Structure 1
Amino acid sequence: MKKDNSPWYWIPTLNFASGLPYAIIISVSVIMYKNLGINNEDIGIYTSLLYLPWVIKPLWSPFIDLYSTKRKWFVSMQLLISLAFIIVGLTIPLSNFFVISLAIFWVAAFASASNDVASDGFYLVVLEKEQQSFFLGIRSTFYRLSMLTGNGLIVVIAGYLEQEYGDKQKAWSYTMIVVGLIMTVITIYNYFSTANIEAKSIETTTESVPNKSFGTVFATFFQKKQIGLVLAFILLFRLGESQLLKMLTPFLIDPVSAGGMGLTTQDVGVIYGTFGVLSLTIGGIIGGIVISRDGLGKWMLPMILAMHLPIIGFILLSHFHPGSVFYIYATVIAEQFGYGFGFAAFMMYLIYVADGESKTSHYSIATGFMALGMMLPGMLSGFIQEYLGYGNFFIWVFIATIPGLILSRFLIFPTDFGKKSAQEKTN
């Protein structure tokens, strides 16, 4: 490993280590419990509660900000997550595995949320603002790649093992152990690839630590300028997307008679696992580059539009149901590129909101509100879709993007925020 610990060495894996546990705990657990015979009511209630740590993580984020280094925190939390997944795998053959595995998943969920806080904080502390804007696309891309790995590759492994052994318990037991071992390898790599530069920083700033308290760190976030407008924007920006993400796969898989597109699960995997990933990657990289070149002010509106306008494609698909898969591919490619490109602006704005003292805690609070803005509408999306049907549902989703767009026009921030300085460009 190079001694300079270039961000290129650790940003991809650090963000992969944030997304993979989230995917396993929130999404893959649903498939696992369903295959292991747990009824839908219990699955819905208890796996939804696993989302809570990401919503309430701002409550303990100041503790992470005030004590020890971000690097020690995320390495420790990733190790705990690795052990938790291995233990889940070992408990699946037990008769009371559901209760035990849920309890362990809860531990893993709190550890994963804490890992996110520490990883975000490390990113904010170690990198200059110009670097932060440049690597936004890389962060978002590898986070989404980890989600696709969890929801795609890991599920494929479990399905293969089910066929191989003819025993679902054994298959999912081995799968969860494999996930734990993958996380262990990533944790070890992150330990060696990230620099322990915070230790020196702490030595030179310890005199300021006693002046901060948990309450002070938390309260100062709500004293920021335009805080009411800022919170409204954070909560409403993803109002449409939160519902789209929940109902998009059912729409593609449901038969045409039910308003869907009639694709197989394999078709959906190919679309998102190849063209979708490529489009997402390109969009995310370009998004980070243009912000670092021109600043957030120039690209905020175009990026928001790029993120939300592809919804029109799903409106057209749901109303006309074209027979050629070309139109489905084109819509998904546009949606994934727009997401990768546009989400960079939102994340850059959250960095601006968190800027200043206690930026780790404040960024965590901001992302906690973002998670709340995703959770609540997502919980209602199924009911809304069933009531409206797919065609009208996508129209509603598109309308739901308008409040965030309107609020964005009233936000006040430096137009050149995130712009790479002339000195940085020459280096």
Structure 2
Amino acid sequence: MSRAYTLGLLAALYVAQGLPYGFFTQALPVLMREMGYSLVRIGATSLLFLPWALKFLWAPYVDHYGTRRQWLLPLQLAAAAGAALLAALEISTSLRWVFAALALFNLIAATQDIATDGLAVNLLGPRERGLGNGIQVGGYRLGMIVGGGLLLWIYAVAGWRPMFVAMAALLLLTVLPVLRLREPRRAAVAPAPRAVALAGGWWSRLRRPGVLPFLALISFYKFGDSMGAALVGPFMKDSGFGLAQIALIKGTLASVSALSGAALGGWLAFRWGRRRALLIGGLAQTLSLAMYALAALAAGGSGFGYALTVAACIAEHVLGGIATVALFTLMMDAAEPEHAGTDYSLLACTVAIAQGLASMGAGVVAEVGGYPLMFGASVALSAAGCIALVRALDRGAGPARLADVWRSSPAGPAPERLAT
């Protein structure tokens, strides 16, 4: 397969994941707030994202049975069919079908993600992983932005049914590159273990030296950022933004910002290496959260508060994209090719659990202490998580596979050690 096709395929697969995820994490909270739901109940919808936290349980089956095309094609079609079914249901008076669809979409997307990540680990070499993860984060964020921006705008002007028809059509477009997928033959390995044995396959991967500390570190790295981002939509709604304004800001403006951040993050990981990219990205995303904290303090209908909120949203997508690409590149480095789907899923599931807890925590803190306290806490946690990860990896924490890439720089000298 050519590099262009490989990157295009991965982009389409990650856009397909981001589309429904963007709607359910960005547009749905705004709609729930408009319908009178409390911030605690909005935060509690993160429980419906449980498949992302548990996908490591079935990841060994995806790794060992069938080709990745055989997994990807039916999953992509099922997602499009689910969106089309929602368009046919009456959901204008109750969100129960939307919540049920949220759980199902998450199950489909989480399983698709196992196959996609395994494919990416095997198709991308160490030098290409920064670029590949830039494509991953850029595609995923583009899907999220379309889901949370364009689809929210369609809902604002036309209602539920046209919005879900548009989602189904967009998901069908992402199927086209999968039809051409011809996977490289897998290396000869022992016959796949029996299904019962595979049920615990993730446990042996979890017990590898350095994995548990690495899981804790990457979770801490993402916790503060996830906490701050969880209630941006409701914060904008409560600050006086209309649905059309939110769609424009989180759609048009954020889309360019997110793609720029993903591209810059991929370049940093390639040019300066993993360590500098993680440090720069982590501290930069903390700055974007600080802008939200200032906007929350300035809220109340002032023009300055509006302008600062818009600037914070743009900064979040640019700077947060850099941090996410750097982290995902490091996670891909930690995955062994023979168990790529399982290894990466364990890491991604831990991040998903941290994000879910952060989202729930954000709802509670904002309900009790207001938006300024919630955003302020996210700033402190984001900075602490970044410093903790970099210092720990400097001291040799994490899987042994990271030693070769942590301080190496593909196109420049090794970065300096973080001052202690």
Q: Give TM-score scaled by structure 2 length.
A: 0.83
**For the structure 1 residues 218 and 103, does the alpha-carbon distance in structure 2 shift closer, same or farther, using more than 3 Å as the test?**
same
Whole-angstrom CA distance in 1 between matches of 2:336 and 2:108? 25
Q: What code does the residue aligned with 2:21 have?
A: Y
Which residue number corresponds to residue 284 of structure 1? 262
Whole-angstrom CA distance in 1 between matches of 2:67 and 2:324? 28
- 1:413-424 superposed matches below 5 A: 413-414=402-403, 416=405, 420=410
Q: Shift of the alpha carbon at 1:30? A: 6.0
* Greater mean deviation of Cα atoms: 55-64 or 210-219: 210-219
Which residue number corresponds to residue 136 of structure 1? 133
Which residue number corresponds to residue 123 of structure 1? 120
Which residue number corresponds to residue 164 of structure 2? 176
Whole-angstrom CA distance in 2 between matches of 1:10 and 1:119? 10
Whole-angstrom CA distance in 1 between matches of 2:18 and 2:346? 18
Whole-angstrom CA distance in 2 between matches of 1:329 and 1:46? 26
1:9 paired to 2:4: no
Secondary structure at the counterpart of residue 309 of structure 1: helix
Secondary structure at the counterpart of residue 400 of structure 1: helix
* Greater mean deviation of Cα atoms: 145-154 or 322-331: 322-331
1:242 paired to 2:226: yes
Cα deviation code 1:298-329 (max 9, x no counterpart): 33222211121222222333334563455444
Q: Shift of the alpha carbon at 1:51? A: 1.2
Structure 1: which 5+ runs fail to align?
163-171, 256-261, 423-427
2:157 aligns with one of 157, 160, 185: 160
**For the structure 1 residues 254 and 31, does the alpha-carbon distance in structure 2 shift closer, same or farther, using more than 3 Å as the test?**
closer
Q: Shift of the alpha carbon at 1:17? A: 0.8
Secondary structure at the counterpart of residue 10 of structure 1: helix
Cα pair 2:149 2:250 within 8 Å, conserved = no
Secondary structure at the counterpart of residue 174 of structure 2: helix
Which residue number corresponds to residue 82 of structure 2? 84
Secondary structure at the counterpart of residue 310 of structure 1: helix
Q: What code does the residue aligned with 2:225 have?
A: E
Secondary structure at the counterpart of residue 338 of structure 2: coil
Q: Percent identity?
A: 22
Q: Shift of the alpha carbon at 1:21? A: 2.5
Which residue number corresponds to residue 370 of structure 2? 389
Cα deviation code 1:330-355 (max 9, x no counterpart): 33333222111121111112112323
Q: What code does the residue aligned with 1:378 have?
A: S
1:269 paired to 2:240: no
Q: Shift of the alpha carbon at 1:39? A: 7.7
1:58 aligns with one of 35, 53, 56: 56
Cα pair 2:19 2:147 within 8 Å, conserved = yes
Q: Shift of the alpha carbon at 1:94? A: 11
Whole-angstrom CA distance in 2 between matches of 1:265 and 1:177? 20
Cα pair 1:294 1:416 within 8 Å, conserved = no
Which residue number corresponds to residue 188 of structure 2? 205
1:149 aligns with one of 146, 149, 155: 146
Cα pair 2:121 2:337 within 8 Å, conserved = no
Instruction: Flag the structure with larger Rg.
Output: 1
Q: Shift of the alpha carbon at 1:114? A: 0.6
Count of residues paired in the alignment: 399
Which residue number corresponds to residue 218 of structure 1? 202
Q: Shift of the alpha carbon at 1:25? A: 4.7
2:360 aligns with one of 379, 386, 390: 379
Which residue number corresponds to residue 316 of structure 2? 335
Cα pair 1:71 1:119 within 8 Å, conserved = no
**For the structure 1 residues 40 and 326, does the alpha-carbon distance in structure 2 shift closer, same or farther, using more than 3 Å as the test?**
closer
Whole-angstrom CA distance in 2 between matches of 1:330 and 1:234? 27
1:305 paired to 2:283: yes
1:185 paired to 2:177: no
Cα pair 1:296 1:415 within 8 Å, conserved = no
Q: Shift of the alpha carbon at 1:150? A: 0.9
1:323 paired to 2:303: yes
Cα pair 1:299 1:345 within 8 Å, conserved = yes
Cα deviation code 1:251-303 (max 9, x no counterpart): 33324xxxxxx433333333333333222222211111121123213332222
Q: What code does the residue aligned with 1:277 have?
A: S
1:353 paired to 2:345: no
Whole-angstrom CA distance in 1 between matches of 2:91 and 2:248? 32
Q: What code does the residue aligned with 2:55 have?
A: K
**For the structure 1 residues 4 and 405, does the alpha-carbon distance in structure 2 shift closer, same or farther, using more than 3 Å as the test?**
closer
Cα deviation code 1:355-380 (max 9, x no counterpart): 35301111011111111000012112
Tell me how large the CA RMSD over aligned residues is.
3.3
**For the structure 1 residues 77 and 8, does the alpha-carbon distance in structure 2 shift closer, same or farther, using more than 3 Å as the test?**
same
